[in-house]
Structure 1
Amino acid sequence: MKIDEIGYLGIDATNTAEWRAFASDYVGFEVRDLANECLGLRMDDYAWRMLVQPAQRNGVGFLGMKVESLEALETVRSELTAAGVAVHESSEAERAVRGVQHMLWALDPDENRVEFFAGRSIDESEFKPGRPIGGFRTGSLGLGHVVLGTPLLVEMEHFYMKLLGFGLTDYLDTEIKVRFIHTNDRHHSLALVKTPSRFLHHVMVEYKFMDDVGRLYDKALTMPGMVQTSLGRHANDHMLSFYSKTPGGFLLEAGWGGRAIDRATWKPEELWGFSFWGHVRSWETPENQAKQREHIESAARLGLRAPVEVNGEGGFVSRTMAI
């Protein structure tokens, strides 16, 4: 089974109205009004990459997994069924909302709805961000990444890695247990964290230009309580980012400069820590904040650093310098 990308995300929201200004004026999504009080959050050539829908809770409504063809979708059906996972047909109305020709769905071990689709339509109209930005890095990499807290880490690993074919990029196996997993060249499209209960921890969107992250950070600093994790750079995916609090209570990571991997040659490794510098978490306990400071100071003493990778898209430009 081969999943190409996490193509879209459904967000359950107890108050969809609060999402409009956050998504448009703050993040820079193009916001579209859809039926049944839903909001479509557009990032690129698709009608939306995230759909905010009214619900009795905040969190994951559904995860949309892209496969390349109807034949690949039938492989999903047969392999999940053989593994004892119930696979359901989508309705015509569901396919219409998502703009897809074909779709099946199943529940993961945490009972998150996972949708598998093929043949999603491109929206021919121009992407119009809610504020002036240079766009988001999506394309074949998908919408960004999603991080899920789960009490069923072993079962979730089996579902996403053994059944769906996600590969392990790196991991942490200390008092915090985390699995960063990939399905394309993005360092990770999904991360699973061992937690007492299931919840959506954060969603990462990657801007094409570093300046857009900086300007958003400037904006966030003027809004009390908005910055939940300070500006920093991750040690594994090399993302320059910070985290904001969404209307749904989970976090949104605004990032730039994410690392690409070669799936054919990549070898998983255990992490020593999360960040080279920064990423101070305001929501952590004083004890955990002290541990984080120890990691950051250790990285500084060792002089750990990494170059920014050039990928020829958006804000990345490679120039030959005469010496």
Structure 2
Amino acid sequence: MNSFPLPAADSVFGAVHLGYIAVQSNRLSDWRRFGADAIGLHVDDVDPNTLRFRLDDRTCRFLIRRGSAEDVIALGWQVDDHETFDRIIARVTDRGLPIIEGTKEEAALRGVERLWRFAGPKGIAQEIFTVPVTTPEPLRMQSSGWVTGEAGLGHVAILSREPESMRGYFHTVFDSRLSDYIDENVSGLKMKIRFLRVNERHHSIAIANIRGVKIDPIRTSVQHINIQSATLDDMLASFQRVKDLGFRMQWSVGQHTNDRELSYYCVTPSGFELEVGWNPIVIGPELESTWEPSTYQGISIWGHTPVGDTVLTKFDQFRQALWNASTPEITVPQLAGGLSR
């Protein structure tokens, strides 16, 4: 059962959608080849320091700007209307957290009219906007299409040493609801994953932690980003292109236990993973009215077998975990809903 209170009358649930991902990387040529040639996205070369990927009529779904982070630096959330926008702003400012309006250049690069930014867990800036910029320019991409719309761009998965704090953050800001849990054993470590939804997509945020120990074995702030293919053929074709073009595959094609999505995971040029999926459960109004969280044992019904793990990669993960253990994880206690540890 969800331990959070029942939604209040001023809930913003259902009026928030993941709109775009902002990445900082010095590997723009690799990103171009990865996004356009392997995954099958529409690519625009904005300037020598900027790439953008389109999936639909939005001018920007992925923004890749030159820089040294090699990581996701911001998540952009579309808010349906000004009333909802004002509620979210008030929740942040009433708790003493500053909000900064993005510059005109930042908004233009992200394909939105205006945006406001505030601090997020693990140092990932949260950006909200109401009006995206669209274009009638036809998509030039190998895929036949991607599923966005009311469900938003996809989802973000984050490995955290402070999972309750992070869950509290997204509940406080966006009235997220718990869809379910997965318990998984990874290399002898017990992992718990919380899946949070903010609209009809089964989850827009997944938060994983290793039970009993506060370790984080990955360098990047996000573990993976998910996008949803319109057809099974599209998903399988991109899987083959990723392999043929020599990009690293992390997990083979498989099906998840909770949302039933078929997907594979590959590694982006910046080091975090991209999950390309197809046909997950949609929690529409009828399901929403009766949905109860469950706990699933294991991530996958079948497939999702690891690809290319070596002793050296395991050692690198262990070394990264030791380094992270000496560095406190960035939390935002003002917005943790009293759940910060």
What is the TM-score with the length of structure 2 in the denominator?
0.78
1:222 Cα offset (Å)? 3.3
| From 174, 180, 205, the counterpart of 1:170 | 180
Which residue identity lines up with residue 45 of structure 1 in the other structure? D
Instruction: Give distance in 1, aligned partners of 2:242 and 2:120.
Output: 34
Instruction: Give distance in 1, aligned partners of 2:301 and 2:236.
Output: 18
> Secondary structure at the residue paired with 2:121?
coil
1:225 Cα offset (Å)? 6.0
Name the residue aligned to 1:136: 146
Q: Is this contact kept in 2: 1:109–1:152, CA < 8 A?
A: no
Judging changes above 3 Å, is the alpha-carbon distance between structure 1 residues 283 and 189 closer, same or farther for their aligned structure 2 residues?
farther
What is the TM-score with the length of structure 1 in the denominator?
0.82
Q: Count residues in correspondence.
A: 285
Q: Is this contact kept in 2: 1:64–1:116, CA < 8 A?
A: yes
Instruction: Give distance in 2, aligned partners of 1:179 and 1:284.
Output: 25
> Secondary structure at the residue paired with 1:76?
helix
Name the residue aligned to 1:259: 281
Q: 1:85-234, aligned counterparts within 5 Å?
A: 85-129=97-141, 131=142, 133-172=143-182, 175-194=190-209, 196-197=215-216, 199-224=221-246, 226-234=248-256
Which residue identity lines up with residue 206 of structure 2 in the other structure? A
Judging changes above 3 Å, is the alpha-carbon distance between structure 1 residues 227 and 6 closer, same or farther for their aligned structure 2 residues?
same
Name the residue aligned to 1:53: 65
Name the residue aligned to 2:264: 242
> Secondary structure at the residue paired with 1:187?
coil
Name the residue aligned to 2:334: none
Q: Is this contact kept in 1: 2:21–2:74, CA < 8 A?
A: yes
After superposition, the CA RMSD in angstroms is 2.1
| From 36, 43, 51, the counterpart of 1:39 | 51
Q: Is this contact kept in 2: 1:233–1:279, CA < 8 A?
A: yes
> Secondary structure at the residue paired with 2:203?
coil
Judging changes above 3 Å, is the alpha-carbon distance between structure 1 residues 80 and 264 closer, same or farther for their aligned structure 2 residues?
farther
1:173 Cα offset (Å)? 5.3
Which residue identity lines up with residue 246 of structure 1 in the other structure? T
> Secondary structure at the residue paired with 1:6?
strand
What 5-or-longer segments of structure 2 have no aligned partner? 1-10, 185-189, 312-341
What 5-or-longer segments of structure 1 have no aligned partner? 287-323
Which residue identity lines up with residue 194 of structure 2 in the other structure? R
> Secondary structure at the residue paired with 1:21?
helix
Deviates more, 1:215-224 or 1:98-107: 215-224
Q: Is this contact kept in 2: 1:184–1:263, CA < 8 A?
A: no
The alignment-based identity, stated in percent, is 29
1:89 Cα offset (Å)? 1.8
Which residue identity lines up with residue 234 of structure 1 in the other structure? H
